[in-house]
Amino acid sequence: MDKLKTGIKNLDGILSGGIPVYSLNIVSGSPGSGKTILVQNIIFNSARNGLKSLYLTTISESQFKMVRHLQEFEFFSDEFLGDKFIYGDLGTVLRKQGTEKILEYLTEMIKRHEPNIFVIDSFKAIRDIFPDEKTFKAFVFDLAAALSIWEITVFLIGEYEEIELTRLSEFAIADGIFHLYGQEEKRFQKRYLRILKMRGTNFENGEHLFQISPAGIEVYPRIKPKGKELQYGVRQGRKGFGITGLDEMMDGGLTEGTITLLSGGTGTGKTSLALKYLLDGAEKGENGLFLSFEEPTSQLMDNARYLGWELDKYLADGRLDIKFISPIELDVDVHAFEILNMVRGNKVGRLVIDSISSFESSVSDMQKYKDYLWAIAHQLKMRNITSIFTVLNEDLFSPASVTKDQISLIADNIIMLRYVEEKSSIKKILGILKARGTNHDRDIREYEITPNGINVLGKLDKANMLR
């Protein structure tokens, strides 16, 4: 089946290649949800592929006002107006000649311009003019029959609420239904798109975040696991920290393609351990990516220099990359998708997210937070990327707590960092709580962070220090 390429970032992927040609599609949503911009973006992208569009406005918005608003977008180009992009005023016909002349006018316009794409904006405005549902329903079926004669792809735009999508007659004739809506989530005003129906092609269901930027519409597909359970392949390769004592405790390092939670209180050294893990990989020729949601790059570089680590040459040759993302601007729906893009584009073998606790602060729905982590973990494991997620444990002296949200379920390995008291001094200790497929050390060991690096010391021999 031939498809109409929308040309919108990630939308064609969600639609398995695009919208089936000659289909009739309804784009619904409340005022301001982005319906008109979505369709206009598709039309201008299609014009660049040589397709002609006929766009009829009704009484809801004049074509002059519409063009004035569209001029702000990068996809807009006035060179297509009058040639590949034909505007028509259906509103005047409705006001002066009444609803009985609509089909005649539409047929005349289609015959005259022979478009590939045909749009009515707003179709809901036409519905509101008809005296009763019975008359409008008859018009809808006559319209569907008339449009089916022409080889055109149709978009009907309307200000419909979601509850109307299952009971109004126009949705019975639709091959495809796009529903756009927005909602407040913490400090973000978010927009979502759902494809409720699309005959003749597979599509990704569920809600997909989209943004309206100067470039136009950008869609961020819902990230989800590809199966009901994580498929864990047993691998033999190891990726160490380059810290002798810790690598020995892990029987040589982290198993390739696994997820590790590095849990600890503030100041225990989670970031330093994770950075050393990437540095060890860079020294062996592996590409590593450090995503920091807490410390800017300059601060991480200063910390590394204090520990005697020179990151500059690896940052220069691309083996190491550090990205700082402000937690104030963090939108987990967008960044989860972009993280996977960066990993794929840079051929990353080692990844650190510091910390996933920052994800939590940007998500109002805890179940959604867990779903995202589950999906990201699954995607990283599918790509055989050995990843470390650092987690802030607010209970500095807790002997057993890793996280408060049971996200440890996503981890193959768990390394715990914490403080203990001894003779009026505070020491740091670490232990391996879990290491799937590894005969790991069960001891709890003291460690130190000095200007010469990180050293794992002897076994903790005073059990009462953990109380």
Average pLDDT (148-169) is 89
- Structure confidence at residue 396 (pLDDT): 60
Could you tell me where the beta strands, DSSP code E, fall in 361-436?
A: 386-392, 413-422, 425-435
Question: What is the C-alpha to C-alpha distance for residues 282 and 290, in angstroms, rounded to an integer?
Answer: 12
Average pLDDT (150-158) is 93
3-state secondary structure of 41: helix
Average pLDDT (407-419) is 86
pLDDT reading at 464 higher than 60: no
Q: Is the separation of the CB atoms in 61 and 119 below 8 Å?
A: no
Interval 269-281: pLDDT, tens: 999 999 999 999 9
Q: How confident is the model at residue 465 (pLDDT cuts 50, 70, 90)?
A: very low
Q: How confident is the model at residue 291 (pLDDT cuts 50, 70, 90)?
A: very high
Q: How confident is the model at residue 175 (pLDDT cuts 50, 70, 90)?
A: very high
- Structure confidence at residue 430 (pLDDT): 93
- Structure confidence at residue 275 (pLDDT): 96
Of residues 62 and 132, more confidence is placed in 132
- Structure confidence at residue 188 (pLDDT): 67
pLDDT reading at 409 higher than 80: no
Question: What is the C-alpha to C-alpha distance for residues 164 and 368, in angstroms, rounded to an integer?
Answer: 27
Return the bridge partners of 217, or none: 212
| Pair of tokens at residue 16 | 């398995």
pLDDT reading at 359 higher than 60: yes
Question: What is the C-alpha to C-alpha distance for residues 399 and 107, in angstroms, rounded to an integer?
Answer: 76
pLDDT reading at 132 higher than 80: yes
pLDDT reading at 431 higher than 50: yes
Any idea which of 176-180, 230-234, 407-411 has the lowest mean pLDDT?
Answer: 230-234
* Burial of residue 380 (number of CB atoms within 10 Å: 0-12, 13-18, 19+): buried
- φ/ψ of residue 170, rounded to 5: -65, -25
Question: What is the C-alpha to C-alpha distance for residues 324 and 372, in angstroms, rounded to an integer?
Answer: 20
Average pLDDT (254-258) is 94
> Considering only CA atoms, which of 226, 278, 235 is closest in space to residue 258?
235
What predicted TM-score, i.e. pTM, was given to this entire model? 0.74
Interval 14-33: pLDDT, tens: 999 999 999 999 999 988 89
DSSP at 358: H
Question: What is the C-alpha to C-alpha distance for residues 135 and 20, in angstroms, rounded to an integer?
Answer: 30
pLDDT reading at 62 higher than 70: no
Interval 296-337: pLDDT, tens: 899 999 999 999 998 999 999 999 999 988 766 667 777 778
- Structure confidence at residue 224 (pLDDT): 67
- Structure confidence at residue 274 (pLDDT): 96
Question: What is the C-alpha to C-alpha distance for residues 327 and 450, in angstroms, rounded to an integer?
Answer: 29
Any idea which of 50-54, 188-192, 211-215, 233-237 has the lowest mean pLDDT?
Answer: 233-237
Residue 383 CA: distances (Å) to CA of 335, 345, 380: 18, 12, 5
Return the bridge partners of 211, or none: 218
Long-range Cβ contacts of 158-164 (<8 Å, 24+ apart): 158/26, 158/27, 158/28, 158/35, 158/122, 158/123, 158/124, 158/125, 158/127, 159/28, 159/29, 159/30, 159/31, 159/35, 159/60, 159/122, 159/124, 160/26, 160/28, 160/29, 160/124, 161/30, 162/28, 164/28
The number of beta carbons lying within 10 Å of the beta carbon of residue 95 is 12
Interval 85-104: pLDDT, tens: 999 888 888 888 888 888 89
Return the bridge partners of 151, or none: none
Average pLDDT (46-62) is 87
Average pLDDT (114-134) is 90
Could you tell me where the beta strands, DSSP code E, fall in 76-234?
A: 85-89, 117-121, 153-158, 176-185, 188-198, 208-213, 216-220
Could you tell me where the beta strands, DSSP code E, fall in 97-223?
A: 117-121, 153-158, 176-185, 188-198, 208-213, 216-220
Question: What is the C-alpha to C-alpha distance for residues 21 and 14, in angstroms, rounded to an integer?
Answer: 16
- Structure confidence at residue 397 (pLDDT): 60
Write the CB contacts of 78 (distance below 8 Å, at least 6 apart in sequence). Answer: 71
Q: How confident is the model at residue 153 (pLDDT cuts 50, 70, 90)?
A: very high
Return mean pLDDT, the chain: 87
- Structure confidence at residue 212 (pLDDT): 93
Question: What is the C-alpha to C-alpha distance for residues 256 and 240, in angstroms, rounded to an integer?
Answer: 10
